[in-house]
Structure 1
Amino acid sequence: MQRKTMKTVMQGAILLSVASLIAKILSAVYRVPFQNMVGNTGFYVYQQIYPIYGIGMTFALSGLPMFISKLVAETHSKKDKMALLSRVFVIMGISSLVLFGLLQLCAFKIAVAMGDPGLTPIIKSVSWMFLFSPFLAVSRGYFQGEYDMRPSATSQLVEQTVRVGVILMVAYWAVHHQWPVYKMGAWAMSSAAIAAIFASVVMGIYVYRARLNFWTPISQPAPWSYTTIGKRLLIEGGTISLFASMMVLLQLVDSFTVMRGLVVHGYSDMIAKSVKGVYDRGQPLVQLGLVVATSFASSLLPSLTTALQRGRHGQFIKQANTVIRMSMTIATAAAVGLIALMPEVNQLLFGNQEGNRILEVYVLSIIFATLIMIYNSILQSLNQFTVTIAGLGLGLLVKLVLNQRAVVSFGAIGASWVTVLALLVMTLFLMKQLKKQRLGAFKESFLFKLAAISIAMWLGVRLAMPFGRWLAFGLPPRPMALALAILGVIVGVLIFISLALKYQLLTLREWLMLPLAGKWLRWFKR
Structure 2
Amino acid sequence: MRNKKMSSLMRGAWILSLGGLIAKILSAVYRVPFQNMVGDTGFYAYQQIYPLYGIGMTFALSGFPVYISKQVAQARDPFAQAEVTHRALVLMTGIGLVMFAALELGADLIAQAMADAGLAPIIRSVGLMFLTMPLLSAARGYFQGTFDMSKTAISQVVEQLLRVGVILLAAAIAVHRQWDPYKMASWAMTGAFVGGLGATLVILPAYRKKVKGQGTPRTSLSAYAKLLERFAKEGGSIALFAALLILLQLVDSFTVTRGLIAQGLAPAAARALKGVYDRGQPLVQLGLVVATALSTTLLPSLSRSVARGHWAAFQQTARQLIRFNFGLSLAAAAGLIALMPSVNRLLFGDTVLTGTLRMYTLCIILVALINAYNAVLQSLNRFRYTSYALGAGVVVKLVVNEWLTVHYGAFGAASGTVLSLLVITGLLYLQLPRNLQGLDPRRFNLRLMVVVGVMSEAVHQVAAHMPTVSRVDTLRVFVVCVPLGVLLFVVVGALCRLYTVREVLAIPYGRRFMKWWQHHFGKE
Q: TM-score range by the shorter chain?
A: over 0.9
The 3 A distance-change label for structure 1 pair 53 and 462 is same
The 3 A distance-change label for structure 1 pair 425 and 155 is same
Q: CA deviation at 1:209?
A: 2.7
Q: Quick check: 1:496 aligned with 2:489?
A: yes
Q: CA deviation at 1:81?
A: 2.7
Of 508-517 and 453-462, the range deviating more from structure 2: 508-517
Distance (Å, rounded) in 2 between the aligned partners of 1:523 and 1:58: 45
Aligned to 1:190, what secondary structure does the other structure show? helix
Map of 2:500 onto structure 1: 507
Q: CA deviation at 1:161?
A: 0.3
Conserved? CA contact 2:82–2:211, under 8 Å: no
The amino acid that maps onto 2:122 is I
Cα deviation per residue 1:98-134 (whole Å; 9 max; x = unaligned)? 1111111110110111111100000001001101111
The amino acid that maps onto 1:502 is L
The 3 A distance-change label for structure 1 pair 83 and 499 is closer
Q: CA deviation at 1:48?
A: 0.3
Of 483-492 and 344-353, the range deviating more from structure 2: 483-492
Gaps of 5+ in 1: none
Map of 1:319 onto structure 2: 317
Distance (Å, rounded) in 1 between the aligned partners of 2:519 and 2:33: 37
Conserved? CA contact 1:468–1:487, under 8 Å: no
Gaps of 5+ in 2: none
Map of 1:409 onto structure 2: 407
Map of 2:217 onto structure 1: 218
The amino acid that maps onto 1:316 is F
Map of 2:352 onto structure 1: 354
Distance (Å, rounded) in 2 between the aligned partners of 1:213 and 1:91: 21
The 3 A distance-change label for structure 1 pair 131 and 489 is same
Please provide the CA RMSD for this pair: 2.1
Q: CA deviation at 1:456?
A: 2.9
Q: CA deviation at 1:466?
A: 4.1
The 3 A distance-change label for structure 1 pair 406 and 155 is same
The 3 A distance-change label for structure 1 pair 173 and 381 is same
Question: For 1:13-412, what aligned pairs fall within 5 Å after superposition?
Answer: 13-212=13-212, 217-219=216-218, 225-412=223-410
The amino acid that maps onto 2:513 is A
The 3 A distance-change label for structure 1 pair 443 and 281 is farther
Q: Quick check: 1:484 aligned with 2:477?
A: yes
The amino acid that maps onto 2:189 is M
Conserved? CA contact 1:46–1:185, under 8 Å: yes
Aligned to 1:210, what secondary structure does the other structure show? helix
Cα deviation per residue 1:310-361 (whole Å; 9 max; x = unaligned)? 2221221122112111211111000000000111111111111111111111
The 3 A distance-change label for structure 1 pair 523 and 283 is farther
Conserved? CA contact 1:365–1:423, under 8 Å: yes
Of 435-444 and 43-52, the range deviating more from structure 2: 435-444
In percent, how many aligned pairs have the same letter? Answer: 47
Cα deviation per residue 1:444-486 (whole Å; 9 max; x = unaligned)? 93333323432332222121124433xx8xxx71111011122
Q: CA deviation at 1:32?
A: 0.4
Distance (Å, rounded) in 2 between the aligned partners of 1:429 and 1:212: 47
The amino acid that maps onto 1:260 is R
Distance (Å, rounded) in 1 between the aligned partners of 2:350 and 2:32: 12
Conserved? CA contact 1:406–1:414, under 8 Å: yes
Distance (Å, rounded) in 2 between the aligned partners of 1:106 and 1:486: 48
The 3 A distance-change label for structure 1 pair 84 and 509 is closer
Distance (Å, rounded) in 2 between the aligned partners of 1:213 and 1:236: 30
Distance (Å, rounded) in 1 between the aligned partners of 2:466 and 2:518: 28
The 3 A distance-change label for structure 1 pair 500 and 142 is same
Of 156-165 and 476-485, the range deviating more from structure 2: 476-485
Q: CA deviation at 1:229?
A: 1.4
The 3 A distance-change label for structure 1 pair 234 and 468 is same
Distance (Å, rounded) in 1 between the aligned partners of 2:337 and 2:288: 15
Distance (Å, rounded) in 1 between the aligned partners of 2:177 and 2:283: 30
Q: CA deviation at 1:274?
A: 1.0
Conserved? CA contact 1:263–1:272, under 8 Å: yes
Of 331-340 and 451-460, the range deviating more from structure 2: 451-460
Distance (Å, rounded) in 2 between the aligned partners of 1:193 and 1:166: 10
Runs (4+) off by over 6 Å: none
The 3 A distance-change label for structure 1 pair 524 and 430 is farther
The 3 A distance-change label for structure 1 pair 6 and 498 is closer
The 3 A distance-change label for structure 1 pair 415 and 520 is farther
The amino acid that maps onto 2:410 is A
TM-score, structure 1 as length reference: 0.94
Q: CA deviation at 1:511?
A: 3.1
Conserved? CA contact 1:282–1:359, under 8 Å: yes
Of 201-210 and 490-499, the range deviating more from structure 2: 490-499
